[in-house]
Structure 1
């Protein structure tokens, strides 16, 4: 039986992950961390409910974090120091923070996964885009998320920009101003929009003087992330150290 601690259990992602865990006989949701005010949601008697890291007691195999950018680093440090395998689905960790966590995981001999996106199609979109960038290096990115998303550009967009840049791409032709928050990351233009009706959408747009190519991915609901979360639960403890990206366990790299 895999004992799971879920941080951010009462959020939209947290509620979906609770359903996912309940579907597996060999997985057990044993504790939750709620940083916000106490919730009226009822948990099974076996589930321990904590509201602060200092309150946590018990032994757990996996820590799944779907909280907020302002608390995820502190949460993950706590999990690693207590030798709990982290699966981090909260975006907003900086490159320096990730390096800090990887060093800490190495010190404590802890394995785990940090993923900017647990959507299988999003990971495929990034992988396909890295291939296309080698042949069409003039690229820009557009991402659209729900209005409650706190970080912009999204973690997925930033990771995509890094992959494209590593393949030799940059933005040479800037698209017409169609709104949104515009940032340059690794010499790639990222246009970020926040709109009702979206969960997570990203397009990677390639062009040259004679043709264009768009590789796009759209998560229609949060259930789209659950196959990736399930894969991470099955594979996280088998990794070497704290890896970044679901592609590592999908055999894409």
Structure 2
């Protein structure tokens, strides 16, 4: 994702890449590492040092759940706006980030999915839940993804819950012959996570009703699919104050 972000920013005539952070490739020009001509921007490891020595408007973070919280605090303490695509942030960590962002008057956009189609999928699912409350979510990702369920699946479930009363689905005497086979439970609905090589990011939301089913599905076939949402977020976060969770909040009706 970081490589795709570098390429996407390079294509925008009014944006300039001024820094690149990675634990590998220290000292190498980021351009050839992502298939571009040399950019003059060298990869460094120390985020805090880079922010103190470089004029930065926005940091884009696609790291991992074990490092993102520390990175976010470092960015905000250096008075820089932030776009985050890493999932797995704990609720108490998010609350702390909200406090810091509001105190600093900075914008933070956290999105579990930057694909415009995925955002529309979540919106459509929330609308459908008003009429078809029996629903299960199946999310499919590559086998190197660390957290399960995905942030997109959780966000989808939260949006559905706003339009759906809590109740337990399935037969009252249902039981599992293999523990966990029915997936995780969220407010009475089930979420299933699949991890396989060859996948990128995919999700189905399946609704059931009398004599009918409705399936809403989104597929990201490559990581370029996330870049329009990333670029939109970079532009919007400059005018934000505080934390916004979910790209759908930037897309008007």
TM-score clears 0.5 = yes
Q: Corresponding residue for 1:102?
A: 98
CA distance in 2, matches of 1:224, 1:181: 30
Larger Rg: 2
Alignment CA distance shift 1:39-1:52 (3 Å): closer
Distance 1:80 1:177, change over 3 A: farther
1:226 Cα deviation from its structure 2 partner: 0.7
2:135 equivalent to 1:139: yes
Partner of 1:172: 169
Residue 185 of structure 1 corresponds to 186
CA distances 1:59-111 after superposition (whole Å, capped 9, x unpaired)? 20000001111101110111111111100011111222222211110011101
In 2: Cα distance, 1:234 partner to 1:159 partner: 23
Q: Which residue of 2 aligns with 1:21?
A: 9
Matched, 1:66 2:62: yes
For residues 201 and 113 of structure 1, what CA distance do their matches in structure 2 show? 22
Aligned mates of 2:187, 2:206 — CA distance in 1: 16
Query: Segments of 4+ in structure 1 off by > 4 A?
Result: 174-181
Scaled by the length of structure 1, the TM-score of the pair is 0.87
Q: What TM-score results when the alignment is normalised by the length of structure 2?
A: 0.87
Match of residue 53, structure 1, among 47, 51, 55: 47
Helix, strand or coil at the partner of 2:238 = helix
Distance across 2 between alignment mates of 1:55 and 1:37 = 17
1:224-235 to 2 correspondences below 5 Å: 224-235=225-236
Q: Is the 8 A contact 1:63 1:86 kept in 2?
A: yes
Corresponding residue SS for 1:29: coil
Task: Provide closer, same or farther for how the CA distance between residues 134 and 207 of structure 1 changes in structure 2, counting only shifts above 3 A.
Answer: same
Q: Give, in angstroms, the shift of residue 241 of structure 1.
A: 1.6
Q: Which residue of 1 aligns with 2:20?
A: 32
1:92 maps to 2:80: no
Per-residue deviation at 1:39? 5.3
Query: Displacement, 1:242?
Result: 1.5
